[in-house]
Structure 1
Amino acid sequence: MAISDRKKDVIISGGENVSSIEVEDAVFGHPEVNEVAVIGVPDEKWGELVMALVVKSPGSTLTEDELIAYVKTKLAGYKCPKRIEFRSELARTATGKLQKFKLREPYWVGHTRQVN
């Protein structure tokens, strides 16, 4: 079975294509992760960096370093999130679908990438 992603959800970091779905699956595999969305954020050197927006399980003490170390055991280094941002919730539509364009938008203000 092949994993496919919408073209706009593929992160291009250092010339490598990174599927946000593949990274989300790896992050979600951690037992203290309730929800995750993976986006590309601007970076001068690499073009985009892989960033995970994470809602932790109630009572979790998970840190950014611990989660990155966990994901590094699951994916190639260039696919691993370089940044983790913990949130209380993720932007969703009325039907519950993640709104990645809304999650990406604040990071791309003033940059050339289209976030829709």
Structure 2
Amino acid sequence: MTESRAQRFARELAELKIPDPAAGRSGLWLRTGVALMVAGPVLAVLAYLLAHGTTDPLAQRDAIVIALGAVALTVAGSAVFLRYSLTNFLRFWLARQFYESAQHTIAQPSPSLVAE
């Protein structure tokens, strides 16, 4: 049976049976980050239109505050998206490092056996 290195890695990773209790929560936060990144600029454009659509200084100041809040939403959404997307990548990377380390340990003879 000839299986590729990727197939063997996937099979052995499945054999580890490491449960991820919060797998759905990670996807939820990832989608929340994307939604905030999209909602922020949309809200900022609406605030811009509100500020330029009136001559009332009080309404313009309210629009400026809304626009600043939209910028904050965009930055927070970007941070949440980056955190959870990197978490998914690094989780796979750590499993791969563990697998390669285990393969390297098995493949290398013990130094005490070589010296004798």
State the TM-score, normalized to the length of structure 1: 0.21
- Higher relative contact order (Cα pairs below 8 Å, separated by 6+ residues): 2
Query: Between Structure 1 and Structure 2, which shows a larger proportion of helix residues?
Result: 2
Bigger radius of gyration: 2
Structure with more of its chain in strand, by fraction: 1
